[in-house]
Amino acid sequence: MKYKHALFLNPYLESASTSIMGVFPPTGLEYVATSAKDFVEKLTLLDLRYEKDLSDPNKLADFIRKEKIDIVCASIRWDRQFEDVCVRLNLLPDNIPLVIGGYKATERVQELFSICPNTQIIARGEAEETIKEILKDAPLENILGISYRKNDKVIHNANRPLPDVNTVAIPDRDLRRYRYRIKMGDVNVTSATYDYILTARGCPHNCKFCTFNINPLGQKRTYSARSINSVIEELESIKADTVVFFDDNFAVEPKRAEKICDLIIERKIRKRFIVQARIEIANHPSLLDKMIKAGFKVLLLGLESPHDHILTQLNKGFDSNTVRKAFSMLRKYPMFTHGSFIYGNIGEVEEEMMCIPKFAKEIGVDSIACSKLRVDKYSPLKELAKRTPGYHVTDRGEGYSDMYSHPALKKIGKRIKFSFYTPFKILKISWKFLTIGLFTFREIISFIIAAPFLLKVLLVKEIQKKRLGDSLRRIFISNK
């Protein structure tokens, strides 16, 4: 073997105010690390969100030298912290090969080579097979799906075809050095642990806004499901208390989803499950009944907009009245519903954006998340954006218009959030968490005990940004 000790690195850090993001493991990195196990003598997986002693780049470099690591494979998945991550990677020992993968690395290949000069290889797209060839020291020109440096040029090899999901090894959770919990700063809020499972890749729908429908390489991953037995075997091996089904849509094949629920019940796999789905799941009461019995507690639903013309623009496949009918059914089930919305759509005005919290309250969704529209490289919306006077898209896919700049859209997003999350709504959310068993009474008490710490962090953050007064007014006064 050419490489004796490989380091697989999640290079992101979390501040105390955002450390709830540390609840879940870097599953994509774990998939690739698991594929690499047989091609190195030793493999270490580090998640810097949990490695406080190694958050200093100099200490991380010392660790790499001390452990005699001879190749580093890092994952860059988000725009958030992108520049900080690149600075951190640039401080690693420059005599050790650096391989970078992940969604954002795939999307920003040329830029990454420029600002991260010690990068040797970027593994584009799904990299489980690519990493094997890199570690086997195959000639770089023969490895599909990579970009690499050759002399003073960057060479981009042909894309790698997407693999059959049943050939991809499930993540080896024994590679982890810790268990994933809700943390506030360095404090574990509860003893409950969290994990992901991916039972299928891809989606049969063609929503135009979706940044995962077509990957940054222009490849569409058609819906491909793992065997039910492999899913159940993985669930039985997971030690975490709460598991998120990370499929784009768990209920693509309702009968398959029912069978998974049947086996969870039959095998007595007692966990709390969170799942992503579309509102069409409301048309399958038999599936919903079995999900309740199997321990499914949360439905994550892409609702996108209260306006039919925007839903049509996004090719969502349903209208607002369909959403209302679906929630008239979903409200009957003891599950927590979380709706995702998009604002800043092409041609959308502020009054339309501010209909989101009103619509969300009308249908009875328990919580919401709102994000600005993105128009990525291969998005079907790109042509519409080009044809729309006064609408612009940055190189990073951020949409804005002459009427609504980025700062203006950010303010609208905050108004949407504060209009929905009133103090009374937050109390209702807490009560529902308890009544459906998403959190135990002991865990709720732990949250209450930790609340002063979190409040202190948030207050300091607001004071530093000189916006505390505005935030308090939005919470306690503005509810238009």
CATH number assigned to the domain comprising residue 368? 3.80.30.20
Residue 446 and residue 429 share a domain: no
Query: 315-366 pLDDT, tens per residue?
Result: 999 999 999 999 999 999 999 999 999 999 999 999 999 999 999 999 999 9
> 10 Å Cβ neighbour count for 416?
21
Mean pLDDT for the stretch of residues 144-172: 93
Residue 459 and residue 373 share a domain: no
184 within a domain of the structure (yes/no): no
Last residue of a domain, one of 97, 129, 156: 156
Tell whether the model's pLDDT for residue 478 goes beyond 50.
no
- For the chain, give the mean pLDDT: 89
Question: Who has greater pLDDT, 286 or 49?
Answer: 286
Which pTM does this prediction carry? 0.88
Instruction: Lowest mean pLDDT of 10-14, 16-20, 385-389, name the range.
Output: 16-20
Band (pLDDT 50/70/90 cuts) for residue 411 is: very high
Residue 452 and residue 407 share a domain: no
Q: How far apart are CA 16 and CA 378, in angstroms?
A: 36
Residue 452 and residue 367 share a domain: no
Query: 429-469 pLDDT, tens per residue?
Result: 988 988 998 887 777 776 666 666 555 555 555 555 555 45
Which pLDDT belongs to residue 457? 53
Q: How far apart are CA 420 and CA 24, in angstroms?
A: 26
Question: Contact at 8 Å (CB) between 453 and 187?
Answer: yes
Instruction: Lowest mean pLDDT of 37-41, 153-157, 169-173, 217-221, name the range.
Output: 217-221
254 within a domain of the structure (yes/no): yes
pLDDT more than 90, % of the chain: 70
β partners of residue 74: 9, 100
Question: Contact at 8 Å (CB) between 92 and 98?
Answer: yes
Which pLDDT belongs to residue 181? 84
Instruction: Lowest mean pLDDT of 51-60, 61-70, 187-196, 401-410, name the range.
Output: 187-196
* CATH code of the domain covering residue 9: 3.40.50.280
178 within a domain of the structure (yes/no): no
For the chain, what is the domain count? 3
Band (pLDDT 50/70/90 cuts) for residue 395 is: confident
Residue 407 and residue 310 share a domain: yes
175 within a domain of the structure (yes/no): no
Q: Provide the CB-side half-sphere exposure for 407 (13 A, CA).
A: 0
User: φ, ψ for residue 89 (rounded to 5)?
Assistant: -70, -30
Question: Who has greater pLDDT, 383 or 293?
Answer: 293
Mean pLDDT for the stretch of residues 75-83: 88
Last residue of a domain, one of 96, 130, 156: 156
Residue 416 and residue 313 share a domain: yes
177 within a domain of the structure (yes/no): no
Question: Contact at 8 Å (CB) between 203 and 252?
Answer: yes
Tell whether the model's pLDDT for residue 474 goes beyond 60.
no
Residue 149 and residue 55 share a domain: yes
Residue 356 and residue 286 share a domain: yes
Band (pLDDT 50/70/90 cuts) for residue 472 is: very low
Which pLDDT belongs to residue 89? 94
Q: Nearest Cα to 357, choosing from 319, 321, 398, 303?
A: 303
Name the one residue in this structure whose structure tokens are 């499950």: 273
Band (pLDDT 50/70/90 cuts) for residue 152 is: confident
Mean pLDDT for the stretch of residues 416-436: 91
72 within a domain of the structure (yes/no): yes
Residue 144 and residue 275 share a domain: no
Q: What residues contact 433, with CB distance under 8 A and at least 6 apart?
A: 336, 439, 444
Q: Residue 342: which H helix or E strand, with range?
A: strand 336-343
Which pLDDT belongs to residue 78? 85
Range of the domain at 346: 192-439
Name the one residue in this structure whose structure tokens are 């009957």: 332
Question: Contact at 8 Å (CB) between 312 and 290?
Answer: no
Mean pLDDT for the stretch of residues 107-119: 92
Q: Which ranges in 278-374 belong to alpha helices (H)?
A: 285-294, 308-313, 320-330, 350-353, 355-363
299 within a domain of the structure (yes/no): yes
Residue 241 and residue 138 share a domain: no
Tell whether the model's pLDDT for residue 375 goes beyond 60.
yes
Residue 222 and residue 145 share a domain: no
Residue 322 and residue 289 share a domain: yes
Which pLDDT belongs to residue 453? 59
Which pLDDT belongs to residue 176? 94
Tell whether the model's pLDDT for residue 417 goes beyond 50.
yes
179 within a domain of the structure (yes/no): no
